[in-house]
Amino acid sequence: MSDSNTVAAAKTSIEVDKIRKDFPVLSQKIKGKPLIYLDNAATTQKVKRVIDRVHQFDSEEYATVRRGAYRLSERATAAYEDVRKKVASFLGTPDPKEIVFTSGTTQSINLVAYSFGKRFVNPGDEIIISTIEHHANTVPWQVLCEERGAKLQVIPCNDDGELILEEYERLLNDKTRLVAVNHVSNALGTINPVKEIIRKAHDAGARVLIDGAQSTPHMKLDVRDLDCDFYAFSGHKMYAPSGVGGLYGKMELWDVLGPYVTGGDMIRQVTLEKTTYANPPARFEAGTPPISQVIGLGEAIDYLNEIGLDRIFEYEKSLLEHGTRLLQEIEGVRLIGTAKHKAAILSFVLDEAHPHDVGTMLDQDGIACRGGHHCAQPTMIRFGVPATTRASMSFYNKHEELDELAESVRKIIQFFK
Ligand SMILES: Cc1ncc(COP(=O)(O)O)c(C=O)c1O
């Protein structure tokens, strides 16, 4: 197939008009104009069948899980554990016990920083992150290093926003305990070569956590093939309800780690003198979990699987290529993040206008784009900008919406001239 044929095939690989009907929020108007939702890296919109499933569960099936001996609770527990199986197979592990439900990526990373840190990180040890991480994958490691007398090392990136792997290799040594990097950068869109990063860390005897907040909704994953030790994700970025997410971990690690949060449901036995802990994953799920949200997550996974992650990736790539071309044609627009391997995220700055003003003016045209540092201030510092405007796409976005974005950006540049 020729290049143009390949692009055309990718463009039509998703029946976007049909798909958009699955998302009730998308049919509304903002300021009299059709809503163009381009803040999917922050959070994604909800699928009708997820909304319906949660409603049905809450209306007819809701009960606590893992505790009640009555029928309703048994059924709710079965449904809850069924979602654990779905998440496991979605991420690529045959063992559902390797999946811990959390409130999202932030909590997942904090869990590893606390539990892994307590067990394995000692004074003089080192943790490696990168310069293009979300604060959720930066601050917990800073806190851990401060508390344990360890040192935080940082992989730099080049001007395209790609990690410099030679520098990474130089940082790895026998003191490195853990490498924590994102699969996809939320501020730049860079897809990191995580398989290589993991292999190199393992060669040096270090463990690896991958922050998958921006990858899980957009590409097919296989944690067993990647061989990562931990993989964190958020439900609300993958068309599921907010308040739920998860953490994959290798069983050999879960087995030896202590709990992060303690209380009900994570125990084997409690006396006033001593508590023994439950086996994983319950050991890491203290308290009543976000039951209905977990059920919604399962439905969102079914939906994504039915569309197919490979198709989603190809279609979103065609959006990225289209949007990149359009923005590159506009004088006065500078793209921040031009990695060769990118997810469908366009971060940019205008010579004349601050990203906050750009965001406000785009809103006048019904376009929802994020303006800010995207919880990635070290990335902004690296690129010498206080903030960017970010258009982050989903398979429910249309190529025509990017035409509208480009048109609106042109108007803003004219206005500020
Ligand atoms: C790369 C990355 N990591 C972590 C997070 C934090 O995710 P959450 O707020 O769902 O915990 C985000 C959210 O934007 C992100 O983009």
- One-character DSSP codes across 192-232: --HHHHHHHHHHTT-EEEEE-TTTTTTS---HHHHT-SEEE
Ligand 1 neighbourhood includes 211 CB (under 6 angstroms)? yes
Query: With 90 as the cut, is the pLDDT of residue 259 above it?
Result: yes
404: which residues sit within 8 A by CB, 6+ positions away? 36, 365, 367
Q: Which pLDDT score, from 0 to 100, does residue 11 have?
A: 74
Token digits of residue 385:
């900008």
DSSP letter (8 states) at residue 39: B
Confidence grade of residue 66 (pLDDT, cut at 50, 70, 90): confident
Q: How many A from CA of 213 to the centre of ligand 1?
A: 5
Is it the case that residue 377 has pLDDT exceeding 50?
A: yes
- The reported pLDDT for the residue numbered 417 is 83
User: How much is the pLDDT for 363?
Assistant: 96
**Which atom of ligand 1 is nearest to 106's Cα?**
11
Average model confidence (pLDDT) for the chain?
A: 96
Decide: 106 in ligand 1 pocket, CB within 6 A. Answer: yes
* The pLDDT of residue 246 is above 80: yes
In short, whether 234's Cβ falls inside 6 Å of ligand 1 is: yes
Asked if residue 213 has its Cβ within 6 Å of ligand 1, the reply is yes
Worst-scoring range by mean pLDDT, 61-70, 77-86, 230-239? 61-70
Q: In 302-340, which positions are buried (b, 16+ CB within 10 angstroms) versus exposed (e)?
A: bbbeebebeebbbbbbbbbbbbbebbeeeebbebbbbbe
* Nearest protein Cα to ligand 1, atom 7: 105
User: Which residue's CA lies nearest to atom 16 of ligand 1?
Assistant: 186
Q: How confident is the model at residue 366 (pLDDT cuts 50, 70, 90)?
A: very high
Predicted confidence (pLDDT) at residue 300 exceeds the cutoff of 80: yes
Is this model's pTM higher than 0.85 or not? yes
Q: Is the CB of 389 under 6 A from ligand 1?
A: no
Q: Does the pLDDT value for residue 251 go beyond 90?
A: yes
375 as an active site residue: the answer is yes
pLDDT of residue 12: 73
**Exactly one of 145, 228, 369, 375 is catalytic; which is it?**
375
Tell me what pLDDT residue 1 has: 45
Average pLDDT over residues 284-289: 96
Q: What are the tokens at 416?
A: 């500020």
Average pLDDT over residues 165-173: 98
Residue minimizing CA distance to atom 14 of ligand 1: 42
Closest-CA residue, ligand 1 atom 12, reads: 213
d(CA 267, CA 261): 11
